[in-house]
Amino acid sequence: MPGGEMGLRPYDPEDPFCSYPTSLHIEELCASIVRSHRETCQFRPEELQALKWKVFTREEVHAYQSKTVDEMWQLCAVRLTDAVQYVVEFAKRIPGFRQLCQNDQIALLKSGSMEVVLVRMSRIFNTENSTVFFDGKFAGTEVFKSLICADLIAAVFDFAHSMCALRLSEQQVALFSALVLINADRPCLEERGRVQRVRKDVELALSHILHRDNQQSLQSKLYEKMADLRSLCALHMEKLRWFRQLYPLTMHSLFPPLYKELFG
């Protein structure tokens, strides 16, 4: 059943608790999205600060590099899917998302969840040594060597650097993540108009906090980042197709079902 791995239920027009964001005050919408982000962000800022210099030893890096291509892909697919699971939970808590029809919820997650994972990656990225919190410690690009997709890894790390340069607050990350997900231009949407209405509110919410923070100049920079996200995800899909051709059985039997549902 589509959406089964994400625990989505169909939109019920009779549901008396379904509130549309249009009925919410913009301040409440901001607060709600920020709370959803905080509750689903996987790592709290204080935790990350404490772990900041916990890096893999040379022996540990070597162990990752000695894995076979399919072993390392499987490990990364599992870690990536953990992160995606939190993004799905975040999406479900964005006011208006659950009220979209189930196919549109799935379509938005298929095209947007990886993008939000990459936005969130900037929160767990240490620019001082170019490492990302992965599998319990901070990892540089060399850790991912056996994936044999150095170009994708380099591009993802560059993107993390450029996101960190914007020095977004947690609230700004929350609103930007919601905007990345609620996008009426995604393929295969059935009720584009309804997605567009929810998006308009999220856009208002983002402008509201940027205005409040006196950082309106961030707006155009964030819209530029959305183009980078698109090309990174296209590259991810291209690498995945390459991997599936080489190791169809690993992909079929050892990758997490949610990963296959979203990207397969």
Residues that bind ligand MHQ (CB under 6 A): 42, 73, 76-77, 79-80, 83, 117, 120-121, 124, 132, 134, 147, 152-153, 156, 236, 239
Is residue 250 within 8 Å of residue 70, measured between CB atoms?
yes
Q: Quote the tokens at residue 114.
A: 């990886």
Question: Shortest Cβ distance from residue 112 to ligand MHQ (Å)?
Answer: 15
Given the complex with ligand MHQ, which of 117 and 181 has the nearer CB atom?
Answer: 117
Rounded to the nearest whole angstrom, what is the least distance from the CB of residue 190 to ligand MHQ in the complex? 28
**Least distance CB 236 / ligand MHQ (angstroms):** 5
3-class SS string, 148-185: CCHHHHHHHHHHHHHHHHCCCCHHHHHHHHHHHHCCCC
85, two tokens: 């699971």
- Cβ nearer to ligand MHQ, comparing 199 with 236: 236
Minimum Å gap between C-beta 67 and ligand MHQ is 12
User: Shortest gap between Cβ of 102 and ligand MHQ (angstroms)?
Assistant: 26
| Rounded CA Rg of the chain | 19
**Would you tell me how many other CB atoms lie within 10 Å of the CB of residue 93?**
16
Closer to ligand MHQ by CB, 10 or 136: give it: 136
In sequence order, the β-bridge partners of residue 126 are 131
Task: Return the number of the residue (121 or 205) whose C-beta is nearest ligand MHQ.
Answer: 121
Whichever of 186 and 239 has its CB closer to ligand MHQ, that residue is: 239
Q: Which two tokens stand for residue 40?
A: 């689903």
